[in-house]
Amino acid sequence: MENTTNLAGDPGILAAPQTEPDRQFYFMDLCRDLVSARAMELGRPLTASVQTFGCQMNARDSEKLLGILEQIGFVPREDEEADLVLYNTCTVRDNANQRVYGRLGYVHSLKKKNPEMLIALCGCMMQEETVIEKIQKSYRFVDIIFGTHNIYKLAELLYRRLTGSSMVVDVQKEATAVVETLPVDRKYPYKSGVNIMYGCDNFCSYCIVPYVRGREHSRRPEEIIEEIKRLVDDGVIEVMLLGQNVNSYGRKLEEPISFAELLRRVEAIDGLRRIRFMTSHPKDLSDELIAVMRDSKKICRHLHLPLQSGSSRLLKLMNRHYDKEQYLALVEKIRREIPDISLTTDIIVGFPGETEEDFEDTLDVVRRVRYDSAFTFLYSKRTGTPAAAMENQIPKEVAQARFDRLLALVSQISREMSARDTGRVMEALVEGIDTQHEGLVTGRLGNNIMVHFPGTGKLIGKIVPVRLLESKGFYYMGRMEEE
């Protein structure tokens, strides 16, 4: 799906280095000249806004995209009244797509006022051919479209758009290169996501991710450790290791290594204080990983363990490779080894053919596991996935009624669970000033729960002991203890 109209004969493009990352640094320089010339004309700097939809992976990609834009000379801006607006999209459920179309309507009205504004789209939604067709037909004002496999090419695509006249579309079906050494603008100075793997090979029958993110591919451990060391040198004390299924990390590497072993090596990095990771597939969660977590001083006592459904029958149809009993046994084993672990999950309601009995099984697992919190989703039909072709799609009202019942149960349990540490002193990483209450700061506990307590901005980025005085349902009010 490569649009080549802008390529012909442009001396800038013809002279570009063929190897990465040199090629992208070259295009960043060319764009920088164009952007600074335009800024001179306007008498003000040009601004750019990166808007993120979806998961932590996209949030991390957006930091990389903003890093490139800043290198080119754009000044970042939160809202969309910018000279360049980039939407990093998600397509895991249809409502994510609908939100992007809604925002495109809004940004089109801004472009009418500022015709030189550039609008770019990237991310998972752009990997779907039907989406590209729709945008090319009905959203002609979009300037640049690229996918999940070539975000590193932003400068090159921007250069093509700035020196050409038509929409630039560059979407690859599979990753051809992974370029990791480009500039990054981290949102938080003290914590960062770190990609340890890309893609997914699990093909859960409802899920579009394997189609839009491509095959699973792990980064080499040395590269990951190097990146984390660099981050720590730059002030980071907490990392979140990111992958669609971190438990299968490293199996296909030339020199295979387990996720648990990677964690051991990350733990050994001096100066790093906290390690998180996301997401764990229950089918691949090893005893070795549980032992490493149990014995670790740095790995947070939190495990996100998507259940999806409590019905063994549906789990089979979902292609999840575990059943209700295996999931419950796994939770029991984890709790036995790490009693203070906080468990969270994802649950889908209204998968094709879901009966009242299937749904009761989901409620049963929720009652037995008692999650600290759970993300609940209405099943969304994704074209091209096996589940989309299944018969017995569940009527919206039935699914919604079940969803409401599940949410009520999950919230009640979550409120009880989040109060369980009241009175204790726990370590909190201070993330910012509390915007709701003057004189307070907000910190995150190892189990991912937030605590608000008196303090100043000087504490931001520090880990401090906090007594949890009162539970407010999903967060605590506390008081800092002497260290």
Q: Which residues bind ligand 5AD (CB under 6 A)?
A: 92-93, 206-207, 306, 308, 346, 348, 377, 379-380, 382
Smaller CB separation from ligand SF4, 202 or 418: 202
Stretch that binds ligand SF4, among 63-71, 182-190, 202-210, 466-474 (CB under 6 A): 202-210
Identify the residue whose tokens are 């921007």.
158
Smaller CB separation from ligand 5AD, 149 or 382: 382
Please give the Cα distance from 331 to 367 (Å, whole number): 13
Q: Residue from 207, 290, 366, 459 that binds ligand SF4 (CB under 6 A)?
A: 207
Stretch that binds ligand SF4, among 30-38, 68-76, 83-91, 207-215 (CB under 6 A): 207-215
CB atoms within 10 A of CB 165: 7
Task: Report which residue's Cβ sits closest to ligand 5AD.
Answer: 346
Stretch that binds ligand SF4, among 35-43, 206-214, 372-380, 454-462 (CB under 6 A): 206-214
- Beta-bridge partners for 119: 85
Please work out the total of residues on this chain that contact ligand SF4, with binding judged by CB under 6 A: 10
Find, among 318, 310, 311, 312, the residue nearest to 352 by Cα. 318
Burial classification of residue 220, based on how many CB atoms lie within 10 Å of its CB (0-12 exposed, 13-18 middle, 19 or more buried): middle
User: What type of residue is 17?
Assistant: P
Q: Are 429 and 462 in contact (CB under 8 A)?
A: yes
Cβ 233 to ligand 5AD shortest distance, Å: 32
380 binds, among ligand SF4, ligand 5AD, none (CB under 5 to 8 A by kind): ligand 5AD
Q: Can you give 237-255 as a three-state secondary structure string?
A: CEEEEECCCHHHCCCCCCC
Smaller CB separation from ligand 5AD, 54 or 461: 54
Would you count residue 68 as binding ligand SF4 (CB under 6 A)? no
292 binds, among ligand 5AD, ligand SF4, none (CB under 5 to 8 A by kind): none
Smaller CB separation from ligand 5AD, 93 or 161: 93
Would you count residue 278 as binding ligand SF4 (CB under 6 A)? no
Cβ 92 to ligand SF4 shortest distance, Å: 8
What Å distances lie between residue 397 and 92, 95, 393, 424, CA to CA? 21, 17, 12, 43
362 binds, among ligand SF4, ligand 5AD, none (CB under 5 to 8 A by kind): none
Contacts of residue 466, defined as CB under 8 A and 6 or more positions apart, other chains included, come to 425, 426, 427, 428, 443, 445, 451, 453, 478, 479, 480, 481
Find, among 252, 228, 256, the residue nearest to 241 by Cα. 228
> Would the CA dihedral through 200, 180, 15, 75 be positive or negative?
positive
Binding site for ligand SF4 (CB under 6 A): 200, 202-204, 207, 209-210, 244-245, 281
